[in-house]
Structure 1
Amino acid sequence: MTGQAARFGSGSAQAMGTRRFGRVNGLGLMTLAGREIRRFMVVWTQTLMAPLITAGLFLMIFSIAIGPRRGEVMGVDFTNFIAPGILMMTVIQNAFANTSSSIVISKVQGNIVDTLMPPLSAGELLLGYLAGALGRGFLVALAIALGLYVVLGLGIQHPLWALTFVLLGSAFLGGLGIVAGIYANKFDQMAAITNFIVTPLAFLSGTFYSVEALPPVLNTITHFNPIFYLIDGARYGVIGVSDSAPMLGLTVGIASTLLICLLAWRMLATGYRLKA
């Protein structure tokens, strides 16, 4: 019996070994990533359709209320100017919501242990959660971009730049969502982080205006907001104009994403607020 158990254990280990990519648990990583993607795809009317409608309402309200009087901004029609900002704002809000809600719900329901028990490293957990944020962010961006093309005839001037900033923004806010989800133990704590940190950063980052219109002090403060560079970079990708150099935005975006993902990895590795 012992020999059979040993052979069974050896066979299981070999089977698991064939599912690993070097030192990476490929099967576990793909399972977690698949779970995170299925989470938002199952309720697509809430996670994909609702953001599209919300973005459309923002665009319609600002166009009706301000558009006729505002004229052009940086040589671009006001409606076309704010469209990429609304797109990117919606993308990052949904990427943040995907990772933060997944972790908080698991903690509140007490089943976070189901994610922590499998043989997944902190890096694999991080990548699995980020896969959901990237997938949701990309699909939200795609839906809104198609809507903008149909309604406004707005194409994409620099597709590669636009895609890069969409994925970078999704990764940055996805990482921030992991950090917030780990820190928050209750839904009201998560709501406070969303309402007092994420939403103001998204709204006060040039989404609906050019930062050149701000007073010097506010202009300077805005340039310390990494989300400003993400929105500005997406605007460059879509309509070809921006308040700052796209390469600067790319550099700040990559640096900010690496830092927040490093913090998220550290929290996952130490089990901070995850393990009793």
Structure 2
Amino acid sequence: MTIRTTENQTALSNADRPVTGRAAFLNWLGLYTLLSKEIKRFLKVPLQTVFAPMMTTMLFLAIFTLAFGNGERYDGAVSFANFLAPGLIMMSVIQNAFANTSSSLVIAKVQGNIVDVLMPPLSASELTLAYALSGLARGMVVGLVVTVCMWFFIDLQIHSLPAILYFLVAAGLMLSLLGIIGGIISDKFDHIAAVTNFVIMPLSFLSGTFYSVERLSGIWYDLSHINPFFYMIDGFRYGFIGTSDSSLVQGAIIVGLLDLFLYAVVWLLFRKGFKLKA
């Protein structure tokens, strides 16, 4: 009788073991819940998370186009405004993708509610995917709003939609993953602000957003080609104007490999609970 009871309990335990919504080694319900929570978090304050970056980007466009003759300056066969616009769109995407994930994790750590994310049955892969996709979502929403606004002032043409989509998604994921790393290693807002001001901003501004790197020479030209942000912006710009300053295939491979590397780093940090578990 005791053996039967034990066998029944074991069978019941095994029947209850699969988590609702878990399939193909992923807890899809948990992944969707965390992703939905992170997306709703930035959508609840659209003036701060979407329209403020849009206004800043449009100011950059107005200032630089007016400073360079209101479209009379040309970079190759393309007007300066058409050359500048894709770079500004990409800059808004990567900055907001980074800000979304880094701020979410730092706020959770400072407020002490990071445990609400760590206690549910979510694996390192599910945590990584949820946070990374939420940062990508914010970056793409901001990029779409900026693009729509620019279309009222600039005659943007699409040369290669696959190039636009690939570099948009790859760049958003890269900065989203970097934001997760920054959020995990940072203990307070000053730390993440330092990463933003001394790493993300310089790399994005010195990546060919406002100029063609072909105009550079010597060490500055070489440094530009070491900057991964250059390949994101160059490939994305190619999708609009049809010209690039580097090999499109090389840029796509570099960005893709960096995404895989950063994903592995984030997965390992979540797996180990680095600076997350007491």
Give the TM-score normalised by the residue count of structure 1: 0.93
* Deviation digits for residues 134-162 of structure 1 (CA, Å, limit 9, x no counterpart): 11111112112212222112132212211
Give the whole-Å Cα distance in 1 for the aligned partners of 2:118 and 2:20.
22
Give the whole-Å Cα distance in 1 for the aligned partners of 2:264 and 2:14.
36
* Structure 2 counterpart of 1:226: 228
Once the two structures are TM-superposed, the CA of residue 273 in structure 1 deviates from its matched residue by: 0.8
Once the two structures are TM-superposed, the CA of residue 65 in structure 1 deviates from its matched residue by: 1.2
Once the two structures are TM-superposed, the CA of residue 104 in structure 1 deviates from its matched residue by: 0.4
What's the C-alpha RMSD, in Å, of the aligned pairs? 1.9
Give the whole-Å Cα distance in 1 for the aligned partners of 2:15 and 2:32.
19
* Structure 1 counterpart of 2:76: 74
Give the whole-Å Cα distance in 2 for the aligned partners of 1:67 and 1:106.
47
* Structure 2 counterpart of 1:174: 176
* Structure 2 counterpart of 1:13: 16
Give the whole-Å Cα distance in 1 for the aligned partners of 2:255 and 2:92.
17
> Do the aligned residues in 2 keep the contact of 1:67 with 1:79 (CA within 8 Å)?
no
Task: Point out where structure 1 has 5 or more consecutive residues left out of the alignment.
Answer: none
Give the whole-Å Cα distance in 1 for the aligned partners of 2:227 and 2:50.
26
Give the whole-Å Cα distance in 1 for the aligned partners of 2:56 and 2:255.
25
Once the two structures are TM-superposed, the CA of residue 66 in structure 1 deviates from its matched residue by: 2.2
* Structure 2 counterpart of 1:35: 37
Task: Point out where structure 2 has 5 or more consecutive residues left out of the alignment.
Answer: none
Q: Does the C-alpha gap of structure 1 residues 12 and 199 become closer, same or farther in structure 2, counting only changes over 3 Å?
A: farther
Runs of 4+ in 1 over 6 A off after TM superposition: none
Give the whole-Å Cα distance in 2 for the aligned partners of 1:34 and 1:89.
25
* Deviation digits for residues 181-217 of structure 1 (CA, Å, limit 9, x no counterpart): 0010010011001000000000000000000111221
Give the whole-Å Cα distance in 2 for the aligned partners of 1:13 and 1:213.
64
* Structure 2 counterpart of 1:248: 250
* Structure 2 counterpart of 1:133: 135
> Do the aligned residues in 2 keep the contact of 1:51 with 1:140 (CA within 8 Å)?
yes
* Structure 1 counterpart of 2:200: 198
The alignment covers a number of residue pairs equal to: 271
Give the whole-Å Cα distance in 1 for the aligned partners of 2:271 and 2:227.
28
Give the whole-Å Cα distance in 1 for the aligned partners of 2:133 and 2:70.
41
Pair member with larger Rg: 2
Question: Percent sequence identity over matched residues?
Answer: 47
* Structure 1 counterpart of 2:57: 55
